[in-house]
Amino acid sequence: MENFFIGIVILVFGAFLSLFVKNQSIKLKLVTLGALVGSIFALFSALSALFVGNYEYTLHFGTIFPNVRFVLDNLSAFFVVVISVMSTLGVIYSNGYLKPYIEKGKDLSAHCIFLPMLLASMLLVVTVQNALTFLIVWELMSLSSFFLVIFEHEKAEVIKSGIKYLVYMHVSVVFIIAAFVLLTINTSSFDFAHFKAVLANDNYIADIVFILAFIGFGIKAGFTPFHNWLPDAHPAAPSHVSGIMSGVMIKTGIYGILRTLDIIGTPSAKLGFFVLIISTISALYGVLYAICQHDLKRLLAYHSIENIGIIGMGIGVGMIGLTYNCTPVAVLGFTGGILHVLNHSIFKELLFLAAGSVYVKTHTRDIEILGGLLKSMPKTGALFLLGSIAICGLPPFNGFISEFLIYFGMLKGLTINHFIVFIAMILALAGLALVGTMAILCFTKAFSIIFLGEARSENASKVKEDNSSVFILPMAILGLFITFVGIFPEVVFDVLTKPASIFVEIGDYSNITNLMQIISFVSLGLLIAIVFLHILKSKIYKNVENHVTWGCGYNRANPYMQYSASSYASPFISTLTPLFKRVADIKKPKAVFEGEAHYSLHMEDVEEAYFLQPVISAIEKFLTGFEKIQNGNIQSYIMYGLIFLVLALAGVVALG
């Protein structure tokens, strides 16, 4: 455990040291070094916690925080592994991504302080076992990520998204505080271990606490009714920050939910269904809106909501398994959900980094004006393809393994022999299948519009890949992780039973391991067959004739005649019209030969349009009533003071 704290200290020290350096590029390198070394220390201690034995450490900070326990149990250690590895890769990538900003003379001081702060606070969030300290580091995490989001604060929309994010995070914290307060007044302690001891025999409090904590942590994680900050904050932030936030930081919300689950013990039946339903809706909602986005990073942000939903489905299935005392269901659900935490952090970060590389080169996030980038950026393109396949949950890559475990858990759940469980599992199964196919639709769209065909704009046609290792290496490492988890799932599953063992007695799982081995065999065979046949084909058919694409006899096709992202998604979206708020921006040509005309269509989030906006405007209306009191008129303020004094005097006199 000392190693862990040394890691944290190194991280913070790196941030501190960067204050004294003038050169922006060296500043960033210093932070990267700090993050790298610090993460290695944290990773080392987490791995030894997973494989050797758990650690516990108590710190004493004076009278307010007499005993603050830090624990690296299996669950915490797993999250520390995810946080340290994925964040460090993001920080390394930032050296490449921020280069153009440094050249433009942008000051990176704030960025260089808050990036390691975010890492350190995330590491502390998943280890601290004391409610009060937890809230402090949680707040530290939210604030440092807020400052990272508003990196380009000179842009108005960035500030707007940043403020939205900040507001959401503080609503989230209110719910978490409420949950902790409930726990503390029942236990008169701040320690998670004491919470656990008391809650074991009080189901009623446990239910309320869990729901409060789920909403609080769910806002951070991005479950559906609370997701609205995600699609705004991610496009606003620099790519490596979006990668870290989406890949890692929102997982602290999942950690919070899992930790609460650990505290409340066996959940009551309604909680399992509650989580499963919310998660299924999140997954569907996320992917549905991802399909109609043209902004690449917004699209990826909506996919985060989808994947958080899938993780939640795994947890929900696991909880139902716990409630109905069906171990295989619980084991499969929890391992599936937790593995998806790891998987999502890998491929989502890869996709955000690849999106960042595209943005650096083309200066646009609008996929409608890209195209043909696979030829000019072959490595980024191939890695984006890898990430796309993985995020769709397709074999032979990692997303499939976690989705398969969740599916298998649902199938096992069908045999619990309980009517409601049967209905829930069948619908969740269909929901997950629908999410999978919609993800295929979404990512074939994203990948092919960006990387295939011909360039749709001047910018996109002149791109040249930056081969420097700070760009390629982090993505390549993530790509390796994707392939490793996909091809050797039995190894990964074996490790994953450790964090899952916090919730459920694992027992004998050799049949799942066998299944994983067969999947591993099939995946490997599939990959080898594809590569072999491809080589064979290109060896045999060397004589290839080149020609333009068939255009129905028309040989002068131009790039604008290609299918666009909107047209690709259109058949699907048009069948689901009621689920969107369509906002069309039309400029019709008025005269006969008028040149200018414009049409664009945007899908707005219905949750924002029909739920959030009315609520906000109602609150605004209520609060504007107070404007009459706070009118900026110094005379009235003096009068208020006078009235208060008179009332106070009268009160004192009346009360004697």
Partner 1 sequence: MENNLLISIVNFIILLIAPFFVIGIIKKTKAFWGGRYGVSIMQPLWDFLRLFKKRRVISTTTSWIFSIAPIVVLTTTLCAGLFAPMIKGVSIVDVEAAFIIFSYVLGFGKFFALVGAMDTGSSFEGMGASREACFTTIIEPAFFIILASTIALSGNYNFSSITNLVQNWGSFGVLITIIAVIALLVMLLSECSRVPVDDPTTHLELTMIHEVMILDNSGVDLALCTWANGIKMVILMGLIANFIIPNDLSLALSGALFLLIIFVLALIIGTLESGIARFRMSHVFEFIFVMCSFALVVASLAAVKMFGV
Residue 51 or 563: the one with the smaller Cβ distance to partner 1 is 563
**Binding of partner 1 at residue 555 (CB under 8 A)?**
no
Stretch that binds partner 1, among 55-63, 333-341, 429-437, 459-467 (CB under 8 A): 429-437
Contact between 339 and partner 1 (CB under 8 A)? no
Between 274 and 407, whose beta carbon lies closer to partner 1? 407
Stretch that binds partner 1, among 5-13, 150-158, 193-201, 550-558 (CB under 8 A): 550-558
- What is the number of residues in the chain? 656
Strands 581-587 and 598-604: antiparallel
If one counts every other C-beta atom within 10 angstroms of the C-beta of residue 280, the result is 25
Indicate whether 507 belongs to the interface with partner 1 (CB under 8 A).
no
Which of 43, 425, 472, 485 contacts partner 1 by CB under 8 A?
425
> Is 414 among the residues that bind partner 1 (CB under 8 A)?
yes
408 binds partner 1 (CB under 8 A): yes
**Calculated CA dihedral for residues 135, 178, 246, 603, nearest 10 degrees:** -150
Cα separation, 557 vs 261, in Å, equals 58
Burial class of residue 107 (count of CB atoms within 10 Å of its CB; 0-12, 13-18, 19+): exposed
Interface with partner 1 (CB under 8 A), residue from 38, 96, 267, 436: 436
Closest distance to partner 1 from the beta carbon of 19 (Å): 47
Contact flags string 529-548 toward partner 1, x per CB under 8 A = xx--xx--xx-xx-xxxxxx
The answer to whether the CB of 97 falls within 8 A of the CB of 45 is no
Main-chain phi, psi angles of 554, to 5 degrees? -100, 115
Q: How far apart are CA 275 and CA 309, in angstroms?
A: 9
Q: Using CB atoms within 10 A of its CB, is residue 417 exposed (0-12), middle (13-18) or buried (19+)? A: exposed
> What is the DSSP track for 178-218?
HHHHHHHHHHS--BHHHHHHHHTT-HHHHHHHHHHHHHHHH
Which of 421, 467, 381, 440 shows the shortest CA–CA distance to 96? 467
- Residue number with CB closer to partner 1 (195 or 404): 404
In sequence order, the β-bridge partners of residue 602 are: 583
Residue 76 binds to partner 1 (criterion: CB under 8 A): no
Min dist CB 440 to partner 1, Å, is 6
- Binding to partner 1 by residue 277, rule CB under 8 A? no
Question: Is 597 an interacting residue with respect to partner 1 (CB under 8 A)?
Answer: no
559 binds partner 1 (CB under 8 A): yes
Contact between 448 and partner 1 by CB under 8 A: the answer reads yes
Among positions 452-471, residues that touch partner 1 (CB under 8 A) are 452-454
Which lies closer to partner 1 via its Cβ, residue 262 or residue 454?
454
From 244-252, 348-356, 390-398, 487-495, span contacting partner 1 (CB under 8 A): 390-398
Interaction residues for partner 1, span 340-379 (CB under 8 A): 371-372, 374-375
Region 617-646 residues binding partner 1, contact defined as CB under 8 A: none
Q: Phi-psi category of 551—alpha, beta or left, where left has phi over 0 and alpha has psi -120 to 50?
A: alpha
Shortest distance, position 122 Cβ to partner 1, whole Å = 32
176 binds partner 1 (CB under 8 A): no
509 sits near partner 1 (criterion: CB under 8 A): no
The yes or no reply on residue 400 touching partner 1 (CB under 8 A) is yes
* The pair of three-digit structure tokens given for residue 559, joined into one six-digit string: 């790039």
In the complex, the smallest distance separating the C-beta of residue 65 from partner 1, rounded to whole angstroms, is 49
Does residue 390 interact with partner 1 by CB under 8 A?
A: no
Using CA atoms, how far apart are residues 40 and 26, in angstroms rounded to an integer? 21
Q: Torsions phi, psi of 213, nearest 5?
A: -65, -35
The nearer residue to partner 1, 233 or 441, going by C-beta atoms, is 441
* Shorter beta-carbon distance to partner 1: residue 148 or 439: 439
Q: Is 426 in the site for partner 1 (CB under 8 A)?
A: yes
541 bridge partner residues: none
Q: Looking at 3-11, 75-83, 225-233, 560-568, which segment touches partner 1 (CB under 8 A)? A: 560-568
- Give, as one character, the DSSP assignment of residue 503: T
- The reply on whether position 649 binds partner 1 by CB under 8 A is no
Q: Judge whether 203 and 211 are in contact, CB under 8 Å.
A: no
116 in Cβ contact with 12 (< 8 Å): yes
**Looking at beta carbons only, is 138 or 407 nearer to partner 1?**
407
Q: Shortest distance, CB of residue 396 to partner 1, whole angstroms?
A: 8
Q: Does 522 bind partner 1 (CB under 8 A)?
A: yes
Sign of the torsion formed by the C-alpha atoms of 150, 151, 153 and 155: negative
The tokens describing 211, both together, are: 């729901």
Residue 394 is a binding residue for partner 1 (CB under 8 A): yes
Decide if residue 417 touches partner 1 (CB under 8 A).
yes
Q: What residues contact residue 159 under an 8 Å CB cut-off, 6+ apart? A: 150, 153
Q: Where do we find the tokens 């050169």?
A: 23
